[in-house]
Amino acid sequence: MNWTGGKRPTISQVAAQAGVARSTVSRAFSQPERLTRETVARVLEVAKQLGYTPNPVAQALSTGRSRNIALVVPDVANPFFPPLIRAAQRKAEDYDLCVFLGDSDEKPEREDQLLERFASQVDGVVLVSSRLSDTQIWAYAQRMPLVLINRDIDNMLRVLIDSAPGMEDAVTHLAELGHRHLAYVSGPATSWSNAQRRTAFRNAARRQGLEVSSISANRSTYESGRKSAERVVASGATACVAFDDLLAQGILAGLADLAVAVPEQISVVGCDDVLGSTTSPALTTISNHCVAAGEVAISLLVDNFGGSPAVDVRHVLKTHLVIRNSTAARK
């Protein structure tokens, strides 16, 4: 005995048992108002008794809607994503949608493969911090509803986390503490967020008349941050802002290795606020509502089911600075 072709009752069996046509059973579930109260009751009774549930695959085939969506992220293990994934998943449930998860491992080719595989069996896709080119994304958006998180392309649905306000706060905060030379430790080169944050950082620093250094850590990992610590010290900056919390956490560790005291000798600011107070010292960071991002993306997607491609929606989420213990007055 095996499962395939198992004992799930079909609509025909319910129809036979209830003495009605298959279409009537179908309607008893989807448009009960078109049937007599009694008929509906009888059908549902039989259905329950038989343990019948409409087969979603068959429904998908005949209606063209699967009630499934896909969520693609560059790296599930990066702490920025889990809260977002979780929020999106929960929100999707509210709309009775199941969500496929794809991890592209930061590689455009993999992301492409995943999307290709998902394309024909979902009602829509949410792409988080996509590493694909604008053209590729555009092409997919022609085939199905698609929402971007942290990627800004015209005439598409996107939710963006605007680092500028938080970055402005951070730089001002550091300037007020007396720092005159700041460093920005950047993350993945292909990341829209990284470009956006770096720009916001530079603009804010220029306005405050501060000297800036730029250090590239490439990957957004703890180890990569740790290795960058040395360069932060070498740059001569007395405070730094990292692309994200993971990198900042690594920098904290790297500085500790070098016996550089934080925040006494160097102040460190993170970005994302996904680590809470779990670092030591507790990290001052730019908080972005990643939970909100996930929820908004799903809502946006659902609102655009059946709509037309090339709709221009730009939902921007603000950020703000959360001050903890990794920043202090310049010695």
Partner DNA sequence: ATTGACTTGGCAACCGGTTGCATGATAGTT
Partner DNA sequence: AACTATCATGCAACCGGTTGCCAAGTCAAT
Binding site for DNA (CB under 7 A): 5, 8, 10-12, 19-24, 26-27, 29-30, 34-36, 38-39, 52, 54-55, 58-59, 61-64
What residues have CB less than 8 Å from 66, skipping those under 6 apart?
56, 60, 121, 122, 123
Q: Which is closer to DNA, CB of 55 or CB of 214?
A: 55
Chain residues 169-208 in contact with a copy of itself, contact rule CB under 8 A = none
The Cα 137–Cα 18 span in angstroms is 49
**Of DNA, a copy of itself, none, which one sits near residue 29, judging by CB under 5 to 8 A according to partner kind?**
DNA
Per CB under 8 A, the list member of 21, 41, 61, 316 interacting with a copy of itself is: 61
The Cα 165–Cα 142 span in angstroms is 33
Q: Which is closer to DNA, CB of 67 or CB of 320?
A: 67
What is residue 277's DSSP assignment? T
Per CB under 8 A, the list member of 21, 30, 41, 76 interacting with a copy of itself is: 76
* Sign of the alpha-carbon dihedral angle for 322, 158, 78, 268: negative
The Cα 323–Cα 2 span in angstroms is 59
Neighbour-count burial for 234-251, b at 16+ CB within 10 Å, e otherwise:
ebebbbbbbbbbbbbbbb
Task: Check if the beta carbon of residue 268 is closer than 8 Å to that of residue 255.
Answer: yes
CB of 16 to DNA, least distance (A): 11
CB atoms within 10 A of CB 183: 27
**Of a copy of itself, DNA, none, which one sits near residue 24, judging by CB under 5 to 8 A according to partner kind?**
DNA
Query: Torsion angle, CA of 15/16/17/19, rounded to 10 degrees?
Result: 80
**Of a copy of itself, DNA, none, which one sits near residue 236, judging by CB under 5 to 8 A according to partner kind?**
none
How many residues in the shown chain lie near a copy of itself by CB under 8 A?
60
Site string for a copy of itself, 229-268 (x = CB under 8 A): --------------------x---x--x------------
Which of 188, 178, 166 lies closest to 270 in space, CA to CA?
Answer: 166
Q: Which is closer to DNA, CB of 8 or CB of 331?
A: 8
**Of a copy of itself, DNA, none, which one sits near residue 23, judging by CB under 5 to 8 A according to partner kind?**
DNA
CB atoms within 10 A of CB 125: 25
Binding site for a copy of itself (CB under 8 A): 1-6, 8, 53, 55-58, 60-61, 64-66, 68, 71, 75-77, 79, 81-83, 85-86, 89-90, 93, 96, 98-103, 105, 113, 117-118, 120-121, 143-145, 222, 249, 253, 256, 276-280, 306-309
